[in-house]
């Protein structure tokens, strides 16, 4: 397995993701909050973002099911858990509150670091702290 | 209306990215998971770092192609952004995913966990925005 192929593929995929976010309007927290504002002047355009993204992603997933392994790695590394538990629901609920407060979710926030805007750095720093806090919790819990 | 076509095209690019990462590297394009994974050593770390570097370079590439930076209107104050960031960071790790991992990738796989997580974060996000509008 050549050493540079996987990081290079990841770089191209990341660039495509960031370009897609920029084109789609997801980097604009006011637009994202407008999409979440169903009781106000609802801005539906993010339905097109998610619809387009899930469609192509589903095609890729369908294709992956017919392949023995990925082109540049040994195995498809997919989550296997099917358990609907309290951490899943609580975590998603807390994430949604933070998303609604700010209009930022992790992808657009990380991509927006390149704009150099100070508020983005405030958000991403706090996000990293929140992630670190969650990692500590996992390490302490018995399972 | 003029925002719908770029939204769709941008979405298609995001889906293409997720499909590419899966078919070439066998990896899920979940941003919160990739970011959190940087704290753990392992053979995947270099590729994950490369993906995130590409992600950060996406908006400058857009600016070079389009001739202007993407619109970014941040209404929240710094304290609100800090609280929101903590909630997003903690919540996405506790719930094992965000808009990309559960939304773009999980829904495409019809993952039962993602089929629960996505409606939950959409609901609390919508409720939060609604409450903030009532309060202001």
Local structure of A40: helix, strand or coil: coil
> Residue B113 and residue B87: Cα distance in Å, rounded?
20
Q: Which of B41, B52, B81 to mutate to probe the A interface, most A CBs <10 Å? A: B81
Cβ <8 Å between A110 and B14: no
Q: Report the alpha-carbon distance of residue B10 to residue A18 in Å, rounded.
A: 9
Q: Cα–Cα distance between B37 and B11 in angstroms, integer?
A: 25
Could you tell me if B10 lies within 8 Å of chain A, comparing CB atoms? yes
Domain boundaries, given as residue ranges, for chain A: 5-140
A70 to A64, A107, B21, B33: CA distances (angstroms): 7, 24, 9, 20
- What values do phi and psi take at A69, rounded to 5? -160, 165
User: CA of A129, closest CA in chain B: separation in Å?
Assistant: 6
Check residue A3 and give its pLDDT. 80
CA distance A112 to A115: 5
Helix extents (H) in B28-77: 31-37, 45-66
User: Sorting pLDDT into bands at 50, 70 and 90, what band is A143?
Assistant: very low
| Closest residue by Cα to residue A109 from B82, B113, B5, B46 | B82
Number of H helices, E strands in chain A: 6, 0
Q: Which residue has the tokens 């959190």?
A: B36
ipTM attached to this prediction: 0.97
What is the distance between the alpha carbons of residues A110 and A96, in angstroms, rounded to a whole number?
17
A100 in Cβ contact with A30 (< 8 Å): no
Whether A114 contacts chain B with CB within 8 A: yes
What does pTM read for this prediction? 0.96
Shortest distance between the Cα of B37 and any Cα of chain A, in A, equals: 10
Q: pLDDT-based confidence at B2, cuts 50/70/90?
A: confident
The reported pLDDT for the residue numbered A99 is 98
Tell me whether residues B59 and A111 touch, CB distance under 8 A.
yes
Q: Name the residue of chain B whose CA is nearest to A13's CA.
A: B17
pLDDT band, very low/low/confident/very high, at A112 (cuts 50, 70, 90): very high
Rounded Cα distance between B94 and A138, Å, is: 9
Q: Do B89 and A131 touch (CB under 8 A)?
A: yes
Checking if the pLDDT of B27 tops 60, the result is yes
DSSP A112: G
């Amino acid at each position: 397995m050549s050493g540079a192929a996987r990081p290079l593929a990841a770089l191209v995929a990341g660039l495509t993701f960031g370009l897609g976010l920029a084109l789609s309007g997801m980097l604009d927290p006011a637009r994202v909050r407008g999409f979440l504002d169903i009781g106000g002047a609802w801005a539906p355009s993010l339905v097109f973002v998610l619809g387009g993204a899930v469609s192509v992603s589903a095609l890729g997933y369908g294709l992956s099911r017919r392949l023995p392994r990925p082109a540049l790695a040994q195995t498809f590394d997919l989550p296997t858990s099917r358990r609907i538990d309290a951490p899943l629901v609580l975590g998603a609920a807390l994430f949604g509150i933070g998303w609604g407060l700010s209009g930022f979710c992790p992808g657009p926030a990380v991509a927006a670091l390149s704009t150099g805007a100070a508020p983005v750095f405030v958000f991403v720093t706090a996000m990293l702290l929140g992630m670190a806090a969650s990692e500590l919790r996992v390490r302490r819990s018995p399972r | 209306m003029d925002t719908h076509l770029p939204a769709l095209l941008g979405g298609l690019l995001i889906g293409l990215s997720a499909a590419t990462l899966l078919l070439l590297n066998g990896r899920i394009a979940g941003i919160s998971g990739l970011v959190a994974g940087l704290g753990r050593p392992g053979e995947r770390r270099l590729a994950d770092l490369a993906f995130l570097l590409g992600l950060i370079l996406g908006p400058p590439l857009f600016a070079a192609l389009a001739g202007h930076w993407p619109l970014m209107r941040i209404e929240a104050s710094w304290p609100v952004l800090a609280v929101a960031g903590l909630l997003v960071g903690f919540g996405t790790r506790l719930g094992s995913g965000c808009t990309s991992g559960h939304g773009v990738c999980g829904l495409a796989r019809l993952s039962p966990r993602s089929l629960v997580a996505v409606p939950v974060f959409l609901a609390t996000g919508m409720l939060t925005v609604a409450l903030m509008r009532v309060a202001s």
